[in-house]
Amino acid sequence: MPQQLSLWNKNLAVGSKTFPITISGEKLDLPNAEIMFYSQGIPQSDADCCFQQLATEIIWRQDSITLYQKSIALPRLTAWYGDPGKTYTYSGIEMLPTPWTPTLLAIKSQVEALAGVQFNSVLLNLYRHGRDSVAWHSDDEPELGENPTIASVSLGGTRRFCLKHRQQRHLRHHLELTHGSILLMLGCTQHYWQHQIPKTQKLVPPRINLTFRTILDFEAPFLPRRWQSQDNSLSEKPRFESFPVGSAK
């Protein structure tokens, strides 16, 4: 059974609005992992506000990878925001930080209070529909350090988050990342577990995911990149419309 924990209550300011983050969370009962999940981290109406603010603030980009000498567009849009000089590289893609927006700074302040860590960057993913996804991977790039803390905030449509143990293949778990939920991955989690957002045939609203990270200031020891597979589905031309956050019609 998940362990119920309580954390202090803070207020999150978005624009002219201030609202509390829910303090009730659960610790997942998984070996070789430290994972906290707050299914209702941000109240729905306030999560709506965050979604709409980010929809107008964020500069999305369409990245591609090279697979079998072909350029393949990732099945999602991405953005990288953070402190000056906090460059991030994954799957051969180098991302230079865009300066923080007021909304990102407000959310960052809250997740820092939950995690007890000061973050200096955030990777955003826009899943426009059920065909957008991310493949199995661990967040173990060298610039994240040996035991990184990752704080993931979900806004918009609900998507399934799958976990599998790297050595004990029979150990699997999944969560439904709902609108306003917050997931913390700490300690040795990235050494032993991989995660993914799979494609779905369901009609789902767009989802914005924010994963806050700390990029180290020094040359970190080498840690192997453990991406097992590459995304191989083509994506649409980059665009963002004014999407509703509620259920798809």
Report pLDDT digits (tens) over 100-153: 999 999 999 989 988 999 999 999 999 999 999 999 999 999 999 999 999 999
CA 59/CA 95 separation, integer angstroms: 13
* All structural domains of the chain with their residue ranges: 3-45+59-213
d(CA 211, CA 82): 12
> What is the pLDDT at residue 241?
39
Which two three-digit tokens encode residue 205?
Answer: 């609203």
Q: Which amino acid is at 26?
A: E
Is the pLDDT at 221 greater than 50? The verdict is: no
- Predicted confidence (pLDDT) at residue 244 exceeds the cutoff of 80: no
What is the rounded average pLDDT for all residues in the chain? Answer: 83
Show the tokens assigned to 217. Answer: 């200031």
Specify the higher pLDDT residue, 18 or 29: 29
Closest by CA to 127, choosing from 83, 161, 99, is 161
- Tell me which CATH code domain 3-45+59-213 carries: 2.60.120.590
More confident position, 248 or 168: 168
Per-residue confidence band for 224, with pLDDT thresholds at 50, 70 and 90:
very low
Higher pLDDT, 176 or 21: 176
Q: How far, CA to CA in Å, does 161 sit from each of 59, 76, 154, 175, 209?
A: 25, 15, 11, 5, 12
What pLDDT, on the 0 to 100 scale, is given for residue 47?
Answer: 93
Residue 44 has pLDDT above 90, yes or no: no
pLDDT of residue 9: 43
Per-residue pLDDT of 142-176, as tens digits, reads: 999 999 999 999 999 999 999 999 999 999 999 99
91 or 13, which is more confident:
91
Confidence (pLDDT) at 45: 85
Is residue 94 classed as helix, strand or coil in its secondary structure? strand
Label the pairing between strands 121-127 and 11-14: unpaired
